[in-house]
Amino acid sequence: VTGTWMGSTTVPCTYVPSEGFTQQTLSWSLERDSSTSTIFRRDDSGDHILLSKFRGRVSVPKHSPGDASLRIQDLEMPDSGHYTCQIIWRSRDNSLITREVTTTVKVVKVHPPCSSRVIP
């Protein structure tokens, strides 16, 4: 996924909701320069943005089953990296199922269009 600096982008994470499975936790983490940090976590107690630099800039749809995509606004250059969406479900027999999807995000600066004025 490529996003424009100071613009916004959506990092996709979709799945097919299954009967009899309850979503336990949803988390988004960012791997950059060989360190991984959790950005966002949704659990029984609500939504938590764990990295202060993402507060007010990230959101995950609440009422659309099957869509756990991460929307990032006001992109900054350090937002580039590998984003992992991890969802854990609990089944009726209390076993846990985990699904992870990793997407690479690249933030690019768009150069202003060249002016057509000729400089003597």
The answer to whether residue 114 is domain-embedded is no
Cα–Cα dist 45/51, whole Å: 18
> What b/e string do you get for 43-61 counting C-beta neighbours within 10 Å, with b at 16 or more?
eeeeeebeeeebeebbebe
Asked whether the predicted pLDDT for residue 14 surpasses 80, the reply is yes
Number of independent structural domains in the chain: 1
The answer to whether residue 120 is domain-embedded is no
Distance, CA of 94 to chain centre:
27
Are 105 and 81 in contact by the 8 Å Cβ rule? The answer is yes
Closest listed residue to residue 11, CA positions, set 23, 3, 21, 20: 3
Residue with tokens 């400089």: 119
Q: How confident is the model at residue 77 (pLDDT cuts 50, 70, 90)?
A: very high
Q: What is the pLDDT of residue 118?
A: 55
CATH number of domain containing 72 = 2.60.40.10
Rounded to two decimals, the pTM is 0.87
The answer to whether residue 97 is domain-embedded is yes
| Segments forming the whole domain that contains residue 83 | 2-108
What is the mean predicted confidence (pLDDT) over 93-117?
84
